[in-house]
Amino acid sequence: MGGATIGSASLLAACGSDTTTQTITNTTTTTSTVTSTTTVTNYICPVDSQKFSSLADLQDHYSTEHAGNQAENIVTLNVNGKAYALIVEPWWPLAYVLRDILGFYSIKLGCDMGNCGTCTIQVDGAPMFSCLMLAVDCDGMEITTLEAMSDGINLDPVQQAFYDYDAYQCGYCTPGLIMAAEALIKKNPKPTAEEVQEAFSGHLCFCANMTKQVECLVGGVD
């Protein structure tokens, strides 16, 4: 499945609302509080854009008003600990749904056919090329993207290692590599160079920076 061509209106549903409050304290004298609120309250029909307050209402409407469509293509994707109920077309790649519908822009598309690794995410803890997966097959799965690796202020140890070793140039391949690296380090905290090379074997870096990308993980990260 390469070169996926995505058709028309695609807006799907969403799930609830949440409020995040972060207190940031630096070591000198300043304390500040940042409050961000994300509210997604509507379940939206992908055909006529009518809004509903629950997934059940949307399903009723969809099967009644758009009987020719397949209402059974409703999936729940658990992304970075939050559930998203979506209506998907059966041919939609997971990469498209995560990036273009849900807005997880860390996911980059390179080849769109499984040859470069830039679209790598974790599905149930394993690194996967999201361009090769269908969203309709991922109902109930736990999906992790690069957005979950940092609290928005501090880098996690793998990200920090990439930073410390200058293991990036243009950065286009970096999110996919970091997702593969995170999965490797979780399973094998002190990998050898050969083990890192194997974990990165499906990835291409067009800036030819793979030496540093491997080096920064050998022996583990702090």
Q: Does the protein bind ligand FES through residue 109 (CB under 6 A)? A: yes
Rounded to an integer, what is the distance from CA 195 to the centroid of its chain? Answer: 24
Q: Does the protein bind ligand FES through residue 2 (CB under 6 A)? A: no
Residue from 12, 112, 181, 183 that binds ligand FES (CB under 6 A)? 112
CB of 120 to ligand FES, least distance (A): 7
Q: Does the protein bind ligand FES through residue 10 (CB under 6 A)? A: no
Pattern 152-191, ligand FES, x by CB under 6 A: ----------------xxxxxxx-----------------
CB of 115 to ligand FES, least distance (A): 5
Q: Does the protein bind ligand FES through residue 207 (CB under 6 A)? A: yes
Q: What span, in angstroms and rounded, lies between the C-alpha atoms of 101 and 187?
A: 31
- 44 or 179, CB closer to ligand FES? 179
Q: Which residue has the tokens 């598309």?
A: 109
Q: Where do the H-state alpha helices sit in the chain?
A: 55-65, 94-96, 157-164, 174-187, 193-199, 210-215
Q: Does the protein bind ligand FES through residue 92 (CB under 6 A)? A: no
Q: Does the protein bind ligand FES through residue 116 (CB under 6 A)? A: yes
Q: Does the protein bind ligand FES through residue 212 (CB under 6 A)? A: no
Q: Does the protein bind ligand FES through residue 102 (CB under 6 A)? A: no
Q: Does the protein bind ligand FES through residue 131 (CB under 6 A)? A: yes
3-state secondary structure of 120: strand
Q: Dihedrals φ, ψ of 75, to 5°?
A: -125, 155
To the nearest 10°, report the CA torsion of 33, 36, 161, 126: 140
How far CA 58 is from CA of 42, 79, 101, 173, 204, in Å, comes to 10, 21, 18, 38, 42
Q: DSSP secondary structure string, 96-110?
A: HIIIIIT--TT---S
Residue from 13, 75, 94, 118 that binds ligand FES (CB under 6 A)? 118
Binding site for ligand FES (CB under 6 A): 109-112, 114-119, 129, 131, 168-174, 205-207, 209
